[in-house]
Structure 1
């Protein structure tokens, strides 16, 4: 193949890829089957943090959290009666501190009077490493999954748009849910290439739903994930999702660095 033909082929290939990307839609990466089996979880108890844990939220204030839009500003979600509730007008929040590998405990609750369906029903996200403003990072989905049909790689316990949970142990709206997470951050070479992918283990209401799962990259709403940007220690982010349903609440958040 001469140089002119090779150049023409390369240009055509690049044009095709650009056009394909422009035509990509969110639903292209939605997976609806098979649905994880429903599991009734055991009784939940309010767990005290271990002695070496960093308390990220103890029900009193948001001193450990900042606004994602402007990290110089304190997070402005609502705190009352030992509970933190999403304020959707104030945007996403994330931890002041950055973390690499860790054990995390977090409790969340969908309101008993929740409305909406599918992704518009109690939607939020726990970003296990926040690597930019907005919804950039590695998202463990938070959503009402109790008799609420949606794509299974977007239900509670999923690594959003990547990995379906092994089971669905979600409690009814109005009841507290727990996530216990072991996060191993990705490792990058000096040139920015990937040396080892991120891995995560998740217990949802005491039931294993992610078992040392290797992630394909940060979350992508449209298109396939990939490790296109090297990063180090990162904050943990909570999402103020733009759906119109009643906002989620959180309590008892602590972390142990590993």
Structure 2
């Protein structure tokens, strides 16, 4: 089909010409869970409820709350049907939350044929193709015993959470391809499966339907299917982006190169280019100085479908630090002569916008300049990304460079606890005096030794230390390898005048005294809080199912003038006591278990969150507090 330049029918609706700090991406389509109207008729096992409770300690102790927003598979009756969406898809991005009953088994089938396993894999040390996040095996009864199942792919690591907690699953799926006669030309492929924030599958090819698929043939499209005959599962927040197979393309690119120091891309209008050349990747490829240059790239942008598109432009040589007295570079993108997005020095090298484009071919012009190079931003590559209706987020004409290969430098906790001092990001802020500890049961945590703050917990592998130990150790950060739950990061202990006093952001009387190492190789953190001496410790228990957090507080002075010492156990949008006695934190993100019949104070903060507090009750000048985190 001939493609015409359709300037005359081209129109723009700019949502913003300013900088977007976060990608202003095209929104996903929700599946309505106010009723079952978005699903094909199914058995009575599928219900819409307001909430679900699965007891982490007992099988089959499920209960639900009336309402809407949560899809549950209730197997208490005779019906055990699968559930199919009315929506049929090919290429797909899928996001959903799910909750497993103890010992339960379910699955999400893309096109009703290719399964991502949902399973209660809590605490499994070596995951298999039947565990949560796996691409389930194919099956052939004609194969020898022990080999009937084949091509199963276990998750890269087990980051499954406890039964009764909400978990998150993201899938990027590429449907099989077929030619005009219906012959398959490419297999289905899971480009990514992300479980609880961790990539557990990447670029996995599936040669045919997996075991127990609804259909044994293969087609370009099919419905989503949720397995209903194996076990109880709850699902909410189902959202998707469905894609066609025709991409956005950028072709016929030509570069006009200019040399000199520039103040604006408009400076090019009166200059003759030093060089003109055809290019096929987005980069300043003209020979000459690495600095003091400008460029103008023209080309043809093909849009497959009329609609709203997200465009993102990045010039990596413009520093994130703002120095308004130094104009290192700028850039702008025009489509059909109209400015769509621009980058100024204070934008940190990145800008994005939404724009409505008609289907067809459009002339584009990308102008930019660079006045000097920075040692940490030497690249002259340009990133232009697009996403739109039926078009997956795509980086156009990207430069592929063979960089100096660096293997991952990882630190794992296998047979004993492992401690690592260093820098750690928490809520986007670098903490410079942290210790991370990995437990053999794949329970890990980080504390800030300078402030006495409990920062985060995670399940799965321990740390990647490449940014700390390779070369100059750029960023100097260690990074958790597993699924992280970031805690609020405020002090764990403080003096309060009474139980209604506000919890402080920091403790002026906190003084770090280092740490001891106990006989099991775990650190015991020591510090003073006013006149009190504190020993704080953590220990994994139950084969990695819970993390016990303990404090021993010895008072050496008169605390009546400053109030009592309290422990802040948890904070979240919600704190709810469950029928089994556990407390669900932050909409069932993790559980808190208290010993015996301990009753916490649960209160509302000025920020409208909930806090759980326990008093440190001294007996003979020594008080203790212990609680467990379960996730």
TM-score, reference length from structure 2: 0.27
1:238 matched to which residue of 2?
Answer: 226
Partners in 2 of 1:195 and 1:178 — Cα distance?
32
Matched, 1:87 2:74: yes
Q: Decide whether aligned partners of structure 1 residues 250 and 228 sit closer, same or farther in structure 2, where only a CA change above 3 A counts.
A: closer
Partners in 2 of 1:80 and 1:251 — Cα distance?
10
Q: Decide whether aligned partners of structure 1 residues 76 and 51 sit closer, same or farther in structure 2, where only a CA change above 3 A counts.
A: farther
Partners in 1 of 2:106 and 2:93 — Cα distance?
20
SS at match of 2:129: helix
Q: Relative to total residues, which structure has the larger strand share, 1 or 2?
A: 2
User: Retained in 1: the 8 A contact 2:117–2:132?
Assistant: yes
User: Retained in 1: the 8 A contact 2:106–2:118?
Assistant: yes
Partners in 2 of 1:63 and 1:163 — Cα distance?
34
User: Retained in 1: the 8 A contact 2:159–2:196?
Assistant: yes
Where structure 1 has 5 or more consecutive residues not aligned to the other structure, the ranges are: 1-49, 70-74, 115-120, 131-136
User: Retained in 1: the 8 A contact 2:193–2:201?
Assistant: yes
SS at match of 1:65: coil
1:218 matched to which residue of 2?
Answer: 209
Matched, 1:255 2:240: yes
Pick from 108, 111, 114 the counterpart of residue 129 of structure 1.
111
Alignment of 1:128-147 (within 5 A): 128-130=110-112, 137-147=113-123
Partners in 2 of 1:87 and 1:210 — Cα distance?
29
- CA drift at 1:170: 0.5
User: Retained in 1: the 8 A contact 2:160–2:196?
Assistant: yes
Pick from 78, 99, 102 the counterpart of residue 47 of structure 2.
78
1:177 matched to which residue of 2?
Answer: 167
- CA drift at 1:193: 3.4
**Structure with bigger RCO (C-alpha 8 Å, 6+ apart):** 1
C-alpha RMSD over aligned residues: 2.5
Q: Decide whether aligned partners of structure 1 residues 205 and 188 sit closer, same or farther in structure 2, where only a CA change above 3 A counts.
A: same
TM-score, reference length from structure 1: 0.64
2:494 matched to which residue of 1?
Answer: none
Partners in 2 of 1:68 and 1:231 — Cα distance?
23
Partners in 1 of 2:42 and 2:123 — Cα distance?
32
Structure 1 stretches of 4+ with a deviation exceeding 4 A read 148-151
Any idea what the Cα deviations from partners look like across 1:113-168, whole Å, max 9, x if unmatched? x2xxxxxx2111100111xxxxxx11110001112589701111111012121111
Structure number, greater radius of gyration: 2
Pick from 187, 190, 202 the counterpart of residue 177 of structure 2.
187
1:19 matched to which residue of 2?
Answer: none
Q: Decide whether aligned partners of structure 1 residues 63 and 149 sit closer, same or farther in structure 2, where only a CA change above 3 A counts.
A: farther
Matched, 1:107 2:64: no
Any idea what the Cα deviations from partners look like across 1:177-234, whole Å, max 9, x if unmatched? 111111100012344432111111110001001112111211035xxx9x97341211
Q: Decide whether aligned partners of structure 1 residues 229 and 60 sit closer, same or farther in structure 2, where only a CA change above 3 A counts.
A: closer
User: Retained in 2: the 8 A contact 1:192–1:230?
Assistant: no
Partners in 1 of 2:202 and 2:80 — Cα distance?
34
